[in-house]
Amino acid sequence: MTGRCMGWTLCGAQASWAGRRVRVNYAFWWPVFLLFNGLNYHSWERFDGLVESQVWVVLALGALNATVLVGALALGEGLLADRAWRRLVVAAYEEEPGGRANESGQGRRLAVSTLLGWVSAVLAAVPVLGYATDSWLFGHLGVHVVTGLRLLWGSGWDQCRVIVESTGLRAPVAVGVLAAGAGVGIAGTIIVRFTRFLSNRSPLHVRFGCGLLTLAGLVVLLAVLEGWGTRLDSRARIWQEQRRVLPFTLSFQERGGGLALDRARLSPLRSAAEAEGALPLVVPRSPGRLPDIFLFVVESLRGDILDACTTPNLTELRHECFAFGESLAASNATETSWYGLFTANYALYAAAAAREPATWGSASLKQLRRLGYSVHVLASSHLDYRNMDQVIFGSGHQLADSFLDIRDFGGAEAPERDREIMRRLIEQIGRGCGGRLFLVFYESTHHDYSWPEDAPAPFQPVASPWNFYLNFRVSPQELVGIKNRYRNAVLFVDSLVGQVVSRLRSEGRYNESVLLVTGDHGEEFLEHGRLVHANETCRVQTHVPILLKPARDMARPPASALARTTATHIDILPTMLDLLGANPQGPWAGESLLRKVTDDAVIVQENGSRDPWEFCVQAGGFKAWLHYPSSDTIVSLEHRIRLSKVTDASDSPVNRRLDTAEGRAWCRATFGSVLARIYPDLQW
């Protein structure tokens, strides 16, 4: 075998591995190098607060990363494509124990050689297409391809199907996207083969050992530049920001910047039995002595969308509601916000709860049932998204006296489902009086935003049709049409809430009923460079209305106190208990808004089926952005977090160094109390 190696042996008469000359497909890799650097140059616009010198450091780091990646891919492709290497593999494949070649050796040689040529082309094209696709996708969704696939498949096939259906991505569109991806991959492979032919007309050879040494030198230079660049200004967070933006980043430093905080261990998640045992005692009441409660959860309802034109009914209702100074969601995504809203617990626990059936069943809902309430769920949404139906209502929905969601509608579109939900709710209003908690979920305001053909659509022009998954990059004119779609959908849902309110008024039950309207999260329209939600915990994705109208005989706190209060999802059910005269404290993190006088809030970034690893804490008019060491972190086991930056409540940067004793003291004074409630043993 040694004599047949054709120059590839380490110790034979032929050249060594290090001395082997590799033919480089420069007609392909030089444009790829320019492409990668162009993407890197474009990405620096996503960095926050970099001065000119820091921008050049970031660009230099990006160029070095691109050089190392392209160099490694070019060497690898050259090795795979090398005819001598292919002949070596073919010879080894053909050789029999006796040293004779098979009679069909020539045919096999040709077939295997051709196959290896195409395989090498595919292996060259896939990383390039993946890099370009990833950069494009991250610029609009804030998520990388690999991360997105892990989020999609992490919960198994059943949940994958639910997730796809919940996003509104229809099967023909998904098939079209996959077909287009396959077509682009085939085209890329053909391009590699063609450019290889062009390069071979005037070949460029590189010795394999020299190429490896050059790459090693570039890696050392990258490490030196990285270490120097991150010391320019810790607020720049050069490395972690670059790693967040770019698909491929070599680094030799731990994700740093900001403040490292130790002993950040979450309190253990209680089992359902333990939580129930910790509930305060309540005196059950007859249904006639309890007001009906109507809690409406509207998909993607922004906090700033309420006005007399878009939401005339909600605007009128708002005049009779508590006027909180601020109102925020528990998360920027649906399932994590549902968890916070209906368990009154921090959404940091959402994924852990979904993995632990022993914790299923909301303690706050149990307390309302112990008080005498029946619970009726009417949902146009996929409540089984991430198993939240079981996490909230128990494994058999035992906390719900009646339960209806998208699975009961036989494929009807969102506006049809929402109308049917409203019709059934109005029917149930007339069947009883008092002691009923209605949990109503509307879906028409989910992108790409819809309403019935016979519903008014005064906001024109509209983007029609608009599919978010096929149109990430939109022009200013298209953005106007997309916003108008959203406003028309909100107007339709507002009319549904208005019809329920009208029925309550006509039956004389309005004043004796409690109404609450909120959104599961907000919605972004390129205010921070992205569309829709679930990609950043910025204000437009987390600011939601929380409209709470109490019954006539319920206590109302002073308006001045409410104006200083930030209402969050986790505070809603404890507030309901307080309005009903029950103890609002219990085995949950939420507080009664009748007693809360701070602007504290905890907002979580979703991480699919894995534990959330990025979140924000708001206090004192400022917002701390924190993260765990890795997106794979199991938060119940991790004891380190990092406070990476501070902004004001509107996400504008705050010019304050965090890596100084003064900065640490300020952060502790500002955020220490709310972080201590999450992490009792936190060490500053």
What percent of the chain is predicted at pLDDT more than 70? Answer: 81
Q: By the 8 A CB rule, do 470 and 177 touch?
A: yes
AA letter at 200: N
Report pLDDT for 232. Answer: 55
User: Is residue 618, in this structure, part of any structural domain at all?
Assistant: no
Q: 428 and 523: one domain? A: yes
| Neighbouring residues of 111: CB distance < 8 A, sequence distance ≥ 6 | none
Q: By the 8 A CB rule, do 521 and 544 touch?
A: yes
Report pLDDT for 660. Answer: 87
User: Is residue 673, in this structure, part of any structural domain at all?
Assistant: no
Residue 640 is classified by DSSP as: E
On the question of pLDDT at 299 being above 90, the answer is yes
User: Is residue 270, in this structure, part of any structural domain at all?
Assistant: no
pLDDT (tens digit per residue) in 97-153: 544 555 556 666 677 777 777 888 888 888 888 888 887 777 656 667 776 676 666
Q: 216 and 353: one domain? A: no
Report pLDDT for 225. Answer: 79
Write the CATH number for 462. 3.40.720.10
Q: 168 and 305: one domain? A: no
Backbone angles phi, psi at 374, to 5 degrees: -100, 145
pLDDT (tens digit per residue) in 470-483: 555 678 888 999 99
Q: By the 8 A CB rule, do 362 and 373 touch?
A: no
On the question of pLDDT at 580 being above 50, the answer is yes
Q: 323 and 388: one domain? A: yes
On the question of pLDDT at 1 being above 80, the answer is no
Q: By the 8 A CB rule, do 602 and 346 touch?
A: yes
Q: Is 23 left (phi over 0), alpha (psi -120 to 50) or beta?
A: beta
Alpha helices in 361-413 (DSSP H): 363-371, 388-393
Q: 387 and 530: one domain? A: yes
User: Is residue 156, in this structure, part of any structural domain at all?
Assistant: yes
pTM: 0.79
Report pLDDT for 680. Answer: 93
Q: How many CB atoms lie within 10 A of CB 196?
A: 21
User: Is residue 518, in this structure, part of any structural domain at all?
Assistant: yes
| Neighbouring residues of 324: CB distance < 8 A, sequence distance ≥ 6 | 546, 562, 563, 565, 566, 567, 593
| End-of-domain residue from the set 236, 257, 278 | 257
Q: 122 and 28: one domain? A: yes
Strands 259-262, 640-648: parallel, antiparallel or unpaired by DSSP? Answer: antiparallel
Report pLDDT for 20. Answer: 78
Q: Which residue, among 543, 525, 531, 521, has the nearest Cα to 651 in the 3D structure?
A: 543
Domain that holds residue 470: 292-598
On the question of pLDDT at 53 being above 60, the answer is no
On the question of pLDDT at 296 being above 90, the answer is yes
Report pLDDT for 597. Answer: 81
Structure tokens at 130: 């993946």
Report pLDDT for 2. Answer: 38
Total domains, the chain: 2
Q: By the 8 A CB rule, do 315 and 306 touch?
A: yes
On the question of pLDDT at 265 being above 70, the answer is yes
Report pLDDT for 475. Answer: 80
| Neighbouring residues of 65: CB distance < 8 A, sequence distance ≥ 6 | 40, 222, 246, 248, 249, 250
| End-of-domain residue from the set 598, 628, 662 | 598
What does pLDDT average to over the chain?
85
On the question of pLDDT at 315 being above 90, the answer is yes
Report pLDDT for 172. Answer: 65
Q: 340 and 412: one domain? A: yes
Report pLDDT for 140. Answer: 59
675 band by pLDDT with thresholds 50, 70 and 90:
very high
On the question of pLDDT at 545 being above 60, the answer is yes
How distant is the alpha carbon of residue 81 from its chain centre?
40
Q: 315 and 251: one domain? A: no
User: Is residue 642, in this structure, part of any structural domain at all?
Assistant: no
On the question of pLDDT at 154 being above 70, the answer is no
Q: What is the rounded average pLDDT of the residues 178-206?
A: 85
pLDDT (tens digit per residue) in 328-378: 999 999 999 999 999 999 999 999 999 999 999 999 999 999 999 999 999
Q: By the 8 A CB rule, do 549 and 319 touch?
A: no
Q: 159 and 302: one domain? A: no
Q: What is the rounded average pLDDT of the residues 176-188?
A: 78
Q: 225 and 374: one domain? A: no
| End-of-domain residue from the set 576, 598, 620 | 598
Q: 164 and 247: one domain? A: yes
55 band by pLDDT with thresholds 50, 70 and 90:
low
On the question of pLDDT at 392 being above 80, the answer is yes
List the Cα angle 212/39/195 in 5-degree steps.
60
pLDDT (tens digit per residue) in 65-86: 889 989 999 988 888 787 656 6
User: Is residue 610, in this structure, part of any structural domain at all?
Assistant: no
For residue 614, what are the β-bridge partners? 627
Q: Measured between alpha carbons, how far is 297 from 518 in angstroms, rounded to an integer? A: 5
Q: What is the rounded average pLDDT of the residues 475-494?
A: 93
pLDDT (tens digit per residue) in 582-612: 999 999 999 999 999 888 999 999 888 889 9
Q: How many CB atoms lie within 10 A of CB 64?
A: 19
User: Is residue 661, in this structure, part of any structural domain at all?
Assistant: no
Report pLDDT for 128. Answer: 87
Q: Which of the two residues, 138 and 267, has the higher pLDDT score?
A: 267
236 band by pLDDT with thresholds 50, 70 and 90:
very low
Q: Measured between alpha carbons, how far is 28 from 26 in angstroms, rounded to an integer? A: 5
On the question of pLDDT at 533 being above 80, the answer is yes
Report pLDDT for 538. Answer: 94
Report pLDDT for 142. Answer: 60
Q: How many CB atoms lie within 10 A of CB 435?
A: 19
Q: 490 and 412: one domain? A: yes
Residue 358 is classified by DSSP as: G
Q: Measured between alpha carbons, how far is 684 from 668 in angstroms, rounded to an integer? A: 7
Strands (E), 227-386: 259-262, 293-298, 326-328, 374-379
